[in-house]
Structure 1
Amino acid sequence: MRIEKDAMGEMQVPENAWYGLHTSRSIKNFNVSGESLPLAIVYAIVHLKAACAAANEQLGLLDQHRSLAIRKACETILTGAHDDQFPIDVFQAGSGTSTQMNVNEVIANLAVVQMGGQLGDRKMMHPNDHVNKGQSTNNIFPSAIRLAGVQLSYRLEAALDALIASIADKAGQFARVAKSGRTHLQDAVPITLGQEFDGYARALEKAKARVAAAGENLLEIGVGGNAVGTGINTKPAFRSHIVASLNDSTGLSFKVAQNGIEITQFMTDMGQMSAALRLLALDLLKIANDLRLLASGPNTGLGEIRLPAVEPGSSIMPGKVNPSICEAANMACIQVVGYDAAVAMACGLGQLQLNTHMPLIGNNLVKSFNILIRTCTMLDEKCIQGVVADEEKCRKHFEASAGLATILNPELGYDRVAALVKEGLASGKNLKTLVLEKRLMSEGQLERLLAGAFGPNL
């Protein structure tokens, strides 16, 4: 162990640890979730630290030697070489100070060694005076959540694009597969399997647009605003210099917050993104459940589609195959809904000039992104791409559906069709058979009528 000292006293630190005494205290103080904050947030803080070092150098507030050492340390961290040096529990100081100081200490010690010094040499490179110069956790941490959110939103949109493309491809394949629609889980007017899948694709396109819109609001960041957003102890140009450097390093398009006070204490933009993820999860939940219903059977369910078999479905029933991918997707989506509920509550629990629940918000947002990215990819590759239509079963349900009565209404009238439906239920004959037996229409007339049953857009 090595001994380090600050205003609170001395603290033992593991001899070879790149972090310092503040991190060691936090490890002892916080052990609630048993999980560290996601590295996506840690890396986002590191990006911001490098941008701040560059800005401080440009403004003459930090010498070039220290600025370069800080930025090189940040580059090293971003390679993943020191991921084990960020162990702070999710549930920590509400502004994220523990993780922010953990990052400051690791950067400072990496920089010290690069400069030829010893671990813990706070004179050569101080985690507060140099690495954290002009900064406060109160603006660094929420800015990091925003940065991580924007980066993950692009990954999610890419995963959604692939899933939407696969669903749209199936919609094309199934364009002429006639089947019964269902409302209230009862027979309804006809639809094609292709139309059904096309609806899924459009729902996910809209979900993607909601994520993109929420991402636009995350591009406004409060970094440089210091403790309450006023920018105390910084030069007026500090914020714009940070944002310019950050954009250069990330290739993104962040902008200085319009109101530093608002963006420091309101987490609503992050709540909006979390809500967009929840809505996507609800759409995926509905689609996965539809697929389970459509594939139910194989002999006693709907059986209109077949899902890829990915594993044996039972330890006791030989040959049983379950919709396991859809079930996994369901659970993942339910988890995202739960994460969003916590984010929403945390967003509303700020007091005065600060929200003190930011680690929870960041943690849940990142986890929701990662779950949904993987869920979309899993559904695409393990399920949608392998869906096969049972055209014979779909046609049988189409012809047997009581929903065909709606198509006959204009030709035969409501009362006569209602009587046919009643007779069909009693006799077990479908409407098509009854209409032809009673010679109410010719087969050609009936086929032409059925051909127009799927709407003008088919």
Structure 2
Amino acid sequence: MRIEKDSMGEKQIPEDAWYGIHTSRSMENFNVAGEVLPLEIIYAIVRLKAACATANQRLGLLDQDRSRAIRRACDAILLGMHDDQFPIDIFQAGSGTSSQMNVNEVIANLAVVELGGKPGDRQTVHPNDHVNKGQSTNNVFPSAIRVACLLLTQRLDAALDRTIASLGGKAHEFAHVPKSGRTHLQDAVPITLGQTFSGYARALEKAKRRITAAGASLLEIGIGGNAVGTGINTKPAFRSHIVAALSDATGLPFEVPGNGVEITQFMTDMGQVSAALKLLSLDLLKIANDLRLLSSGPNTGIGEIRLPAVEPGSSIMPGKVNPSICEAANMACIQVVGYDSGVAMACGLGQLELNTHMPLIGANLVKSFNILIRTCTMLDERCIRGIEADETRCRKNFEASAGLATILNPTLGYDRVAALVKEGLAGGKSLKALVLEKKLMSEQDLERLLAGAFGPVP
């Protein structure tokens, strides 16, 4: 063990620990979630620390050796070499001070060793005076959430692109397959299976666009604003230097905020992103449920598509196969909706100059992103790509659908067609059979009319 001292006294710290006394106190205080803050946020804080070290050096506030050692420590952390050194529970001090100081201590101790010292040597590199120079948790932590979300958006975009492409491929593959449309879970006007899948693809394209639009507001970062966003104890150019260094490191066009006070207090930019993720989850929920309905059966349901069989569906019913992938997707999407509710409430619970629920906001956003990335990938690879159409069932349902009545309206008139629908339901005959039986149209004209009932796949 080694002894470290702070304003509250002394503590023993494990000799092999890169963290320090503040982290040790936080580990004793917080163990509610039973889950540590996501590494995505830790890494984002580390990126900010590297950018701040660069900015401080450029402004002549940090010597070259310390700045280089801090950046090298950050590089090592971002390579995943010290993931076990960030043990702080999600539910901690509301500004995220515990995790922010955890990062400061790990970076400081790694930098000390880089410069030839030993962990705990605050004279060589101090976690507050050097690593945290010109910074406050009140700006570091929300800026880190923004950075983490934007980097995760890139991964989600890639997963969505693959899912959209697979749905679009099915739209073209099934373009020639007619089926009954259904509204209110009752027969409706006909549609092709391809048109159905084109609608799914378009919904996800719009969901992706909403997430991108919401993410644009995250490019403003409050780093360097210090305790209340006014930039106290920093030079005027500090923020712009940080933003430039961070943009160079990430390839993202970060900006100095238009109002440092606003961006310190209000978390609704993050709430907007969370809401966009919730909307994506609702679209995925709808698509997964549609796939379950369309594949229901195999003998007593709709059965117009076949989903890939991924596992036996029952421990007691031999041969049963369930839409397990869609069910897993449903649960994942429901969880995202729940996370969004937590984010929304936390965004509204700031007081005066600070929001003190930021670790929850950050953790829920990261979890939502990761769940949706994996859900899209699972649906794409384990379900959508392997979907097959049962063209015979689709055609049978199409011809038996009471929704065909709408196509006959212009030719036979609403009242006559309504009577045919009632007669067909009472006698168990299809509209097509009744029209031909009553010689209301020739078979050739009827087929031509039915063939023209579908527009192109969008």
Q: Deviations over 1:201-245 (max 9, x none)?
A: 000000000010011111110000000000000000000000001
- For 1:27, the equivalent position in structure 2 comes to 27
Distance, in Å, in 2 between the alignment partners of 1:66 and 1:408 is 81
Residue 455 (structure 1) shift = 3.3
- Give me the TM-score of the superposition, normalised by structure 2: 0.99
- For 1:367, the equivalent position in structure 2 comes to 367
Q: Deviations over 1:331-372 (max 9, x none)?
A: 000000000000000000000000000000000000000000
- For 2:171, the equivalent position in structure 1 comes to 171
Q: Deviations over 1:428-453 (max 9, x none)?
A: 11000000000000001101111111
- For 1:128, the equivalent position in structure 2 comes to 128
- For 2:72, the equivalent position in structure 1 comes to 72
Distance, in Å, in 2 between the alignment partners of 1:417 and 1:88 is 69
Matches within 5 A, 1:235-246: 235-246=235-246
Matches within 5 A, 1:173-192: 173-192=173-192
Distance 1:363 1:457, change over 3 A: closer
Q: Does residue 321 of structure 1 match 2:321? A: yes
Which residue type is aligned with residue 300 of structure 2? T
- For 2:5, the equivalent position in structure 1 comes to 5
Distance, in Å, in 1 between the alignment partners of 2:449 and 2:248 is 62
Secondary structure at the residue paired with 2:179? Answer: strand
- Give me the TM-score of the superposition, normalised by structure 1: 0.99
- For 1:335, the equivalent position in structure 2 comes to 335
- For 2:261, the equivalent position in structure 1 comes to 261
Secondary structure at the residue paired with 2:402? Answer: coil
Distance, in Å, in 2 between the alignment partners of 1:400 and 1:357 is 57
- For 2:381, the equivalent position in structure 1 comes to 381
- For 2:115, the equivalent position in structure 1 comes to 115
Distance, in Å, in 2 between the alignment partners of 1:434 and 1:111 is 85
Which residue type is aligned with residue 395 of structure 1? R
Which residue type is aligned with residue 253 of structure 2? S
Unaligned runs of 5+ in 1: none
Distance, in Å, in 1 between the alignment partners of 2:9 and 2:430 is 86
Q: Does residue 210 of structure 1 match 2:210? A: yes
- For 2:439, the equivalent position in structure 1 comes to 439
Which residue type is aligned with residue 149 of structure 2? G
Q: Deviations over 1:351-408 (max 9, x none)?
A: 0000000000000000000000000000000000000000000000000000001111
Residue 11 (structure 1) shift = 1.2
Secondary structure at the residue paired with 2:346? Answer: helix
Contact kept? 2:198, 2:457, Cα under 8 Å: no
Contact kept? 2:172, 2:457, Cα under 8 Å: no
Q: Does residue 312 of structure 1 match 2:332? A: no
Same amino acid, percent of matched pairs: 81
Contact kept? 2:175, 2:457, Cα under 8 Å: no
Residue 457 (structure 1) shift = 6.3
Q: Does residue 59 of structure 1 match 2:59? A: yes
- For 1:144, the equivalent position in structure 2 comes to 144
Which residue type is aligned with residue 248 of structure 1? D
- For 1:225, the equivalent position in structure 2 comes to 225
- For 1:402, the equivalent position in structure 2 comes to 402
Count, aligned residues: 458
- For 1:290, the equivalent position in structure 2 comes to 290
Contact kept? 2:92, 2:359, Cα under 8 Å: yes
Unaligned runs of 5+ in 2: none
- For 1:40, the equivalent position in structure 2 comes to 40
Secondary structure at the residue paired with 1:117? Answer: coil
Q: Does residue 160 of structure 1 match 2:160? A: yes
Contact kept? 2:329, 2:379, Cα under 8 Å: yes
Distance, in Å, in 2 between the alignment partners of 1:455 and 1:63 is 69
Residue 287 (structure 1) shift = 0.0
After superposition, the CA RMSD in angstroms is: 0.7
Which residue type is aligned with residue 384 of structure 1? I
Distance, in Å, in 2 between the alignment partners of 1:255 and 1:283 is 32
